[in-house]
Copies of this chain bind each other. A is one copy, B any other.
Amino acid sequence: MVVYAGQGDPERTLALLWRTTGEGVKRRGPKPALTVDAILEAAIAVADESGLDGLSMRAVGERLGKTAMALYTYVPTKRELIDLMYDHAHADLIPDLPGGWRQAVETWSLALHERYLRHPWLLQVSHARPVLGPHEQTVLEKLLEVLPDVAVRATVNSLFSLVRGSARTIAEGQGAAADTGTSDQEWWAARSRLMNDLVPDFAERFPRSANMPPAEWDKAAREAFTGGLNLLLDGLENQTGRRDH
Residues 46-82 of A, flagged 1 when their CB comes within 8 A of B and 0 if not, give 0000001100000000000000000000000000000
Q: Which positions 15-74 of chain A face chain B at CB distance < 8 Å?
A: 15, 18, 20, 52-53
Stretch at the interface among A86-94, A98-106, A234-242: A234-242
Please measure, in the bound complex, the distance between the C-alpha atom of A223 and the C-alpha atom of B151, giving whole angstroms: 10
Q: Which positions 212-232 of chain A face chain B at CB distance < 8 Å?
A: 212, 220-221, 223-228, 230-232
Please measure, in the bound complex, the distance between the C-alpha atom of A206 and the C-alpha atom of B151, giving whole angstroms: 20
The complex is assembled from copies of this chain, and their number is: 2
Contact between chains at A233 and B235 (CB < 8 Å): yes
Please give the distance in Å from A188's CB to the nearest CB on chain B: 8
Cβ contacts under 8 Å, A234 to chain B = 234-235, 238-239
Residues 124-147 of A, flagged 1 when their CB comes within 8 A of B and 0 if not, give 101111001010011011001100
Please give the distance in Å from A83's CB to the nearest CB on chain B: 13
Interface size band for A = 35 or more
Contact between chains at A154 and B223 (CB < 8 Å): yes
Contact between chains at A1 and B129 (CB < 8 Å): no
Please measure, in the bound complex, the distance between the C-alpha atom of A228 and the C-alpha atom of B140, giving whole angstroms: 17
Please measure, in the bound complex, the distance between the C-alpha atom of A4 and the C-alpha atom of B127, giving whole angstroms: 19
Contact between chains at A209 and B155 (CB < 8 Å): no
Cβ contacts under 8 Å, A10 to chain B = 190-191, 194
Q: Which residue of B lies closest to A6 (CB)?
A: B176
Cβ contacts under 8 Å, A194 to chain B = 10-11, 14
A232 partner, pick from B141, B166, B173, B231, beta carbons under 8 A = B231
A1 partner, pick from B2, B152, B166, B179, beta carbons under 8 A = B2
Which among A157, A173, A234 has the greatest number of chain B C-beta atoms within 10 A? A157
Cβ contacts under 8 Å, A206 to chain B = 137-138, 140-141
Contact between chains at B232 and A175 (CB < 8 Å): no
Contact between chains at A208 and B126 (CB < 8 Å): no
A111 on the interface (CB 8 Å rule)? Answer: no
A185 on the interface (CB 8 Å rule)? Answer: no
A235 partner, pick from B2, B151, B231, beta carbons under 8 A = B231
A169 partner, pick from B157, B168, B220, beta carbons under 8 A = B157
Please give the distance in Å from A212's CB to the nearest CB on chain B: 7
User: Which 6 residue pairs are nearest across A and B when measured between Cβ atoms?
Assistant: A161-B165, A154-B227, A1-B1, A158-B228, A231-B235, A234-B235
